[in-house]
């Protein structure tokens, strides 16, 4: 299994541009989530999904959209990039539909710089 994969690894955007961060997992996990990590801080939850067709907001959802059309993929869209969205973005997945708690496995991250 490849586990959780993320593309691209690095991205530079100009303010106002849009882009999609890709996340895929091949473990048939129901639960997927997106986090951002800022320097010296822990991870903060952006959006999450408990299964295909179901998404919900996390702690810091503003400026981001998600969709979950398949079990495997969970893309994160930046609608109009802002410098405050400069961060490292991590995707994670786990078993379970969200009613319980299961260990989450993380991808390698996407480093985003917004100028």
Q: Which spans of this chain sit near another protein (rule: CB under 8 A)?
A: 4, 31, 33, 35, 39-45, 48, 50, 58, 90, 92, 94, 96, 98-109
**CA terminus-to-terminus distance, the chain:** 36
Is the Cβ of residue 63 or residue 96 nearer to another protein in the bound state?
Answer: 96
Beta carbon nearer to another protein, 17 or 98: 98
Say how far apart CA 13 and CA 81 lie, in whole Å.
7
Q: How far is the CB of 110 from another protein (least distance, A)?
A: 10
- In the complex with another protein, the residue whose CB is nearer, 17 or 61, is 61
What is the three-state SS of 10-28?
Answer: EEEECCCCCEEEEEEECCC
Q: How far is the CB of 80 from another protein (least distance, A)?
A: 26
Cα angle for residues 46, 57, 19 (degrees, 5° grid): 50
């Amino acid at each position: 299994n490849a586990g959780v994969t993320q593309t691209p690894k690095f991205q530079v955007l100009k303010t106002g541009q849009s882009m999609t961060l890709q996340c895929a997992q091949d473990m048939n996990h129901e639960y997927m989530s997106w986090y951002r990590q800022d320097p010296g801080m822990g991870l903060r939850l952006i959006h999450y999904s408990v299964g295909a067709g179901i998404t919900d907001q996390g702690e810091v959802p503003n400026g981001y959209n998600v969709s979950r059309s398949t079990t495997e993929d969970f893309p994160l869209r930046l609608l109009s990039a802002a410098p405050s969205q400069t961060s490292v973005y991590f995707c994670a997945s786990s078993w379970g539909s969200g009613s319980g708690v299961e260990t989450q496995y993380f991808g390698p991250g996407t480093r985003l710089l917004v100028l």
